[in-house]
Structure 1
């Protein structure tokens, strides 16, 4: 019998609660390559999907079948053919794709039907709905290569899928589409998932794939992962790539994330199926496990300019009045405006924070973290914090600290630890207001 420790379980459960509330009723489209199944990860992945579904999230699951089709081809003495990064689907390959799809659908539906005691599927009732939701068109002949039965998504019946997920079912899509004449086409899982997310205007598109995410340093693919990319940054990364890329390369999925964000899907994710529970970590933890591509057209997260001084003053003034923030005069803000990060929506500043480095001590103070009362609880504070952390890392700093009298729990939940004021850099310690008795909290930067 496993033991549950309240001192760890309770804080953890409380920490994920805001994400449970935030995502309830939202729609996620999840792309799952056939390699996940081949790696023996299906049952654990389905259990995690069932948990996410039980939390009130509407799920569309799109499966791929590259290795399964290749296995069927090998059994028939055939070799897979690819061009321009797309499978050339002749009559034999089409038969193999249909066989592989049927077998995979059976395995996936069986996994969702399990209900063994002492597993995450116990007491779960998950209905899986499939159907002819996709209309396809042929790839045709490209640079002299006839792709035969390979196709592209022409249309997704978003209304029918929406009706199905609104009933509480999970919709399962195979990478097959049909022409108006009834001809079958082999599609790419990534194209199907992206087109479906766009048709539904899904809240998230998630690829749980071979790639760990987008490397922070493209020259060092084994280094850290860039946990968040703006749409503009993702475009720039892809502009530096040429030719087809393999599915093990994050760029293979990044181009689909960009396409989705450009068409109105606000968040797209690349996360590794090699990490157990990657889906849960990405959805229900602050930092996630993979790379998220964010469309910032809706909400500009950026460094402040002199034109923002008035908006910053108006934002923080109510919090200065009630004592949450220390009073700052306009001249001080004008002088330090380049230290501020702001969130702006339709020309109005809804959030800000300032970063004051102490380079010799390899730390920096984050001050005046403020989110308008109109939008609190929507994650803007987390987005500002993440951007400030990125700025501090870029300066080569190893930690950031805050002084607060009222919001210590918010910071502790995000990885800050309380320390004695004597910890402060000497320069900052001299300015510490001992009468105010602010709590000093420090976060180490990975």
Structure 2
């Protein structure tokens, strides 16, 4: 009787109930659309074209996810009517068969109905068709109607996580750059101008930048990468690095005499906006990688022991590479001669980056941010749909690793690596 109540059609539902649901959904949609419109006007008024483009990309991604959800709704019947042999349907499950039976045999009717494949004894849930064609053929539906409904919920959770990740990423990046404002103000002081007198000669290794980077460890590739690996955790951008990279940029792009007039920190903030505009989008390549991540949640693959660490390894490699690039720019100063006049002038180049493409590092940062959001979205969705004690989280270490890695990667990527990337790449 309860199942009949859940599966009744609109012709058996009061019109006022349908009208109320539609009214609430329309009001919520109009409110969100108006809020996005107001935010866009505010960004235009504040002369932030990069952030406005980022907002447009977020709108496009939301529309894409909405279109995917719409397709799932329209194709729900045809997809659930695709029949496959039981032998194939029994492969690559996220949970072991015996685990499912143990965990849900004593649970509520909702759990039994969600996980049961035996449609001859237990009717499907509300979104399932009343008649399963595959049962008569001795086969199983490719994806059940209720499974498609759960995909709807996952897409919604993914959209919410993606938006929250974008906001957190930008907030942490700008927070890191606010600390650079004091260093920028220092360049306008008499002490800074005296210390960086263009008529002053010094050995390159005696400058602050030289003492930080021109050491015995910088002569060996192995020791260079080891030191740079740990540097990203302890002051990824120091004052001496910031001031030296600032001076290199001004010498390369501005006329002499503009050292104290140019606000380099403000310029880097605009560069962060441009980079942020890229990382909020989702390219087809990243969508494909996200689908591959779904395959990894197969029982027996122990994905919680290795999958969350892939984004961590990538972002640590990117951060290390950026530190290595700064040191190699210092080595180039020494290669031009032991004596420098005034402040050391760094000379960047695309050859310092992997494949000679600085934007490849931004792609990796973009990939890490989305896959991290994707994994946390999957964790929240599986917890909501199947509870924290489901077979998706049968190991305590699974929960700890996924949540801890999600937080660590987000902070490391947004607060450390992305601002460092904006600084290093803009001096070219």
TM-score normalised according to structure 2 size: 0.25
Structure (1 or 2) with the greater helix fraction: 2
The structure that is strand-richer by fraction is: 1
Q: Which structure has more RCO (C-alpha within 8 Å, separation ≥ 6)? A: 2
